[in-house]
Structure 1
């Protein structure tokens, strides 16, 4: 049997092609991200695995959760999660539309084919299609301390210039780095941390 990633590819491509042609790429990406989070939840997974629950009910439950917890909610755990991935600090100032008819139909098709569990893989492939289309790269930055707004802006500008692409920064903090940061883009890793420099010095002294 084909693995989940292989099964998800045609759905992701169809989703991105539609969204790109209709100018709703970000809207679909937001929905797929939250939908992926929902189907990974243990309680919802139990619903997916229940043969007594119809495909129509499963798809309706998923869309309803998005509409009530993201589109209609002034603030919610899902909305905070969505905002955090996009760098929004003031959640109340960010609004998201309800799932469109096309999105709802896409979920229905997945449900009828018993493919809702593929949504996390569909989301990842969708992001890759978007990145390729926009020449967008993900930069994973791990710093000893949280980045300031000025540091983040400077880092993003420099990376975009050196990589000749739009760069999305994903941040994490690791106090064991002592100072500085490590940056990972694709297979490339830049270690500008104090821990890395100390390790290099140790290697040179013992060589």
Structure 2
């Protein structure tokens, strides 16, 4: 894991602990989504990356843009990120926060890449099977990759299940080479 990802995860964890202690997970999700959008803006990104703009000015700018949309704790997070020259990781902090929230709520986003679109029945069966196996409420996103030939690859957190025809053929080719 990169240093940036580690830092984003640490800030997200701290924010999540504050949000959870106050029962404000949804409010924090909204605040972080807004801050992520602000930081992801092209003009704001250039200012954040500019060495000629002081950290204090950047914090002031972000807080002015977010006026009325942040709690006192949210403003403190912006100040802390600014002091540590980490405003650029706000989008990653928001993503990590949402992952922590989904995990706590027993939800998981699963990406299924298949050779052709999954039918509603196939999606339903897959959601049920994964939900039972992982013990979570599953939200499924289906992507199409015709190069898989057939079958599908399931990405659920750190779990990858390759049931694609391409994967099977690669497995056979590797076995023959040995």
The CA RMSD over aligned residues, in Å, is: 3.4
Q: Distance in 2 between matches of 1:162 and 1:55?
A: 45
The DSSP-based 3-state class of the residue aligned with 1:184 is strand
The DSSP-based 3-state class of the residue aligned with 1:123 is helix
The DSSP-based 3-state class of the residue aligned with 1:145 is coil
Q: Distance in 1 between matches of 2:146 and 2:12?
A: 37
Q: Distance in 1 between matches of 2:31 and 2:121?
A: 30
Superposition TM-score, scaled by structure 2 size: 0.71
The aligned counterpart of 1:126 is 97
Q: Which runs of 5+ in 2 are unaligned?
A: none
Matched residue pairs, number? 172
The aligned counterpart of 1:15 is 15
Q: Distance in 2 between matches of 1:100 and 1:131?
A: 22
Q: Distance in 2 between matches of 1:9 and 1:197?
A: 35
Superposition TM-score, scaled by structure 1 size: 0.63
The aligned counterpart of 1:163 is 134
**Contact 2:39 2:90 (8 Å CA) reproduced:** yes
Q: Which runs of 5+ in 1 are unaligned?
A: 65-97
CA deviation string 1:51-96 (max 9, x = no partner): 16452122322x27xxxxxxxxxxxxxxxxxxxxxxxxxxxxxxxx
The aligned counterpart of 1:28 is 28
Decide whether aligned partners of structure 1 residues 22 and 169 sit closer, same or farther in structure 2, where only a CA change above 3 A counts: farther
CA deviation string 1:105-133 (max 9, x = no partner): 24542465243222133224323432442
The aligned counterpart of 1:143 is 114
The aligned counterpart of 1:179 is 150
Q: Distance in 2 between matches of 1:150 and 1:37?
A: 36
The DSSP-based 3-state class of the residue aligned with 2:138 is strand
